[in-house]
Structure 1
Amino acid sequence: MTLAHRSAGTPLPGVMHERIGGYALADVTFVQAFEADANKVGRDLADALRQAPTAAVHHLEVPPLGVVVQAGPALDGIAGRLAETVSVHPDCADVTAEDVTAALRGARADVLVCFLPTGATEAVHTYARACAAAGVAFVNATPELVANNPELSALFAERGVPLLGDDLRSHLGATTLHTALLELLMSRGLRVKDTYQLNVGGNTDFLNLSDPARSASKQASKRRALTSAGIDASEVAAGPNGYVKYLGDRKVCFLRIEAESILDAPVAMEVRLEVEDSPNAAAVIANAVRVAKSAADQGLTGVIDPVCAFLFKSPRVGLPESEGLSAFQGFVSRAAAAASAPEWHGHREARPLLASARQEVA
């Protein structure tokens, strides 16, 4: 069944809430897009999404969106093996943070989602500062530290702008499964002895991560997520482990946990999880952009900690899986109450808008 054939009110698989803060997914409108890839700059966003080296499956025919992809500041965004595949548009060399701020203001954007490649610390921080200056909420889907950066988190608080991050979790991916299983074992009083998480994939995200110099922040992020689950993850192998081109946008996780139960009886499990990577991220972004807009409507500023433990691998305040979910659901409930308050309707400007910053589309 396609989306067009679904009746109103029919739940969509993977969409946790029809509305967050009064906003449905149909309320999200793309108004601005930044890229460094020469294949995508200058194209309508709908057309750019289909250009190589994008590996994402086209589940829907997207009509022209009327949003021309602009050159963004490349900086350290394209490097390593990714530079062998992606040609940087020449205009990117001249784009500044001030240009990004002006474009966001001109588009009247509310939220920017940052999907820059892992390892692009300078570029991610440049977009973050541009958003803070423009008054645009920032969703940091990358492992580069923004919410966990004291200077940047303070900047968003001072500017009165919401900030979400860091390192987007897949909706049901390796980290989510791993932390949920760890919590299950520990809730039964088992002692976790050893564990590992190996991940391979075939999109440009995994191509970039196949360079050790680019993947360090991703591995650190995954270990932080496992630490929040309640184990000592300082020496746990968890992270991207290989680029397998034929997998395309599929990601495969091999997971093992060894534990001890009563009388030191051994317990071991092995799991193979295979997902389509881009939709798995989209399901979380469906939550994150509406949370960010709702937070702005409520006057919340800086890092929105109650939602980050559920939506991101490296939140500023980490929580076990069930506690993170509970905190997220609590925010959604409070946002619904705020959106339904009589005095709310004259305060909120009904223009939920979205911008995106990408330098590789997996």
Structure 2
Amino acid sequence: MIKVAIAGVGNSASALLQGLSLAKKGEEIPGILKLPISPSEIEVVAAFDVDKRKVGKKLSEAIFEKPNVVPKYAEVKSDVIVKRGPTLDGIYGKLSEVIEESSEPPIDVVSTLKEEKVDVLLNLLPTGAEQATMFYAKSALEASVAFINATPTEVVKNLGKEFEEKRVPLFGDDLMSQVGGTAFHTGVIEFLKSRGIKVIRSYQIDISGNTETYVTLEDWRKEVKKGVKSNFITSRSDGEVVAGTSDYVEFLGDRRVSYIVIEGEYALGEKVRVDISLKTRDGANAVQPLVDLIRLAKIVKDRGIGGAIKPICGYYFKNSYRYGSFEEARKDLEEFLRKVMSEPRTEQ
């Protein structure tokens, strides 16, 4: 069993819990890595939040509370009670408009991680909650618990060496969706370049109706997301790139619409323009990478490997290590796994 704790019982947590529930019933999660650990062995044993509509409730109930908008795909059985985490900057700005802060006092996160013998702490806080993210990262480090940072906060840059010295895995930053706009946009550019097309410029506009999109209406949060997405795509393109969330449309709920335009040039100076409309569900897009990362964290932790591991961070995240292409990143990940799986587990 892999014991997992979650910081932030939002839409991604809801989708993950429902995906794990279906996995326990024998349903396949498309696209996951073939590893010696099954998704059915993942057990969420602790959860932290600051919203009074979630704190004190069973996790199976809290994942369907507002402001969550992920649809109900499956029944989730969990008697884990959501505990009150520290607020810090977790309701700063527009977050205060959607989160109703609990009056309960914060619990001792480190003690909880140790008492529950947690293997992996999963950080699913909103973009911009940097103080809260760093708090949970340091709590994981203190408790010797692997840390997965799905947010853009630069945990790898700031704490990577400390996690490596303590031989605790650290995966981040800013999770890459299974088939989100950034991954799809980048993949199309890679295809065009493979056919000899000179990519001149491209842009991407994302629209959704969930909390993450709402809070990025604030210019400073929007710039954070825009910077990470644009920099990632630019690393695979020779042309000018602008990418970032554009607007919040409440009735879309968990649905996301990504508009992508790519302009290029081929033989005889002729121009090519690609216009794409990609429609996905944000919550479901997080399930496959999170299921992979939780299992990978357990595997490397059991072998005494700590720190930010480039083949894992570079493949699953947008804001850490960069590769020239998805193919290169995938090959590096597969080679790393072959090497790691041949190593014996260490005593914990």
Whether TM exceeds 0.5 here: the answer is: yes
Equivalent position amino acid for 1:145 in 2: E
Match of 2:256 among 251, 261, 270: 251
What corresponds to 2:191 in structure 1?
A: 184
Aligned to 1:169: 176
Match for residue 225 of structure 1? 232
1:20-53 C-alpha deviation (Å, 9 max, x unpaired): 2x21101101111110111000111111101111
CA shift for structure 1 position 89 = 1.1
Question: Larger relative CO (CA 8 A, sep 6+): 1 or 2?
Answer: 1
Question: 2-side partners of 1:348 and 1:263: how far apart?
Answer: 64
- Quick one: which amino acid aligns to residue 146 of structure 1? V
Partner of 1:54: 68
- Residue in 1 aligned with 2:3? none
Q: CA deviation at 1:138?
A: 0.5
Once the two structures are TM-superposed, the CA of residue 213 in structure 1 deviates from its matched residue by 2.4
- Map of 2:118 onto structure 1: 109
Q: Provide the residue aligned with 2:297 in structure 1.
A: 292
Select the residue among 206, 223, 232 that pairs with 1:216. 223
Deviation at 1:191, TM superposition (A): 1.1
Rounded Cα–Cα distance in structure 2 between residues aligned with 1:309 and 1:14 = 21
The 1-side partners of 2:66 and 2:303 are apart by: 40
Q: Is the 8 A contact 2:216 2:222 kept in 1?
A: yes
What amino acid is aligned across from residue 142 of structure 1 in structure 2? Answer: T
Number of the residue aligned with 2:281: 276
Aligned length: 329
Rate the CA distance shift 1:90–1:231 in 2: closer, same or farther, 3 A: farther
Q: Which residue of 2 aligns with 1:156?
A: 163
Query: For the structure 1 residues 321 and 44, does the alpha-carbon distance in structure 2 shift closer, same or farther, using more than 3 Å as the test?
Result: same
Percent identity for Structure 1 against Structure 2: 33
Could you tell me which residue of structure 2 aligns to residue 312 of structure 1?
317
205-214 vs 190-199, which moves further = 205-214
Deviation digits for residues 257-310 of structure 1 (CA, Å, limit 9, x no counterpart): 001112221111011000011011111101111111111112111101111121
In the TM superposition, 1:28-47 aligns within 5 A as 28-47=42-61
State the distance in 1 between where 2:157 and 2:324 align: 15
Distance apart, 1:177 and its partner CA: 0.5
Partners of 2:24 and 2:305 lie apart in 1 by: 35
1:141 aligns with 2:150: yes
Distance 1:314 1:267, change over 3 A: same
5+ residue gaps, structure 2: 1-18
Q: CA, structure 1 residues 89+231, in 2 after alignment: closer, same or farther (shift >3 Å)? A: farther
> 1: CA distance between counterparts of 2:141 and 2:239?
35
Alignment partner of 1:265 is 2:270: yes
Partners of 1:5 and 1:108 lie apart in 2 by: 23
Equivalent residue, structure 1, for 2:30:
14
- Structure 2 residue identity aligned to 1:263: L
Contact 2:29/2:288 (8 A) holds in 1: no
The CA RMSD over aligned residues, in Å, is 2.1
1:7 is displaced (CA, Å) by 9.2
